[in-house]
Amino acid sequence: MARGAQPSASLLLFSLGLVLFYLASGSSVRVVEGQKTWCVAKPSASNEILALNLNYACSQVSCAVIQRGGPCYYPDNLVSRAAVAMNLYYASNGRHAWNCYFNNSALVVQSDPSYGSCTYY
């Protein structure tokens, strides 16, 4: 752009659209393309929301790993089970930030949350 030239209206609208999309996405994590990410429950999420997330995710994907005897059954608490289920849903739907929104009760992380025999995919 020449010195003193004004940006076109379409460029301004495009830039504004990108900013609004970013803000609306609810994601504050910048993901490096090609880097694996996982979806986990926010520790501050309410039990009511986590139970809804767990039920929804498990209605869409198999949650056998969090059933009694499964590798992710322990620890036996809602936050842990919901996180595993939410990640299963996220992974099966392409690992897009919008598949880890869960009414703003989840986070996309870049550190593998797997533990013991429980592997997050």
Q: What is the pLDDT along the chain (121 residues), one digit of tens a residue?
A: 444 444 444 433 333 343 334 444 444 444 455 789 999 999 899 999 999 999 999 999 999 999 999 999 999 999 999 999 999 999 999 999 999 999 999 999 999 999 999 999 9
Q: Specify the pTM.
A: 0.72
Q: Does the residue 57 lie in any domain?
A: yes
Q: Does the residue 16 lie in any domain?
A: no
Q: Does the residue 29 lie in any domain?
A: no
Nearest to 116 by CA among 62, 61, 70: 70
Q: Does the residue 2 lie in any domain?
A: no
Give pLDDT, residue 71: 98
Residues 38, 88 contacting (CB under 8 angstroms): no
Q: Does the residue 90 lie in any domain?
A: yes
Look up the domain containing 59 and give its range. Answer: 35-109
Classify residue 113 by its DSSP letter: -
Residue given tokens 């993901």 in the structure block: 31
Separation of alpha carbons 109 and 3, rounded Å: 42
Give pLDDT, residue 33: 58
Q: Does the residue 66 lie in any domain?
A: yes
Separation of alpha carbons 14 and 87, rounded Å: 32
Domain count, the chain: 1
What are the structure tokens assigned to 76, written together?
């036996």
Q: Does the residue 120 lie in any domain?
A: no
Q: Does the residue 68 lie in any domain?
A: yes
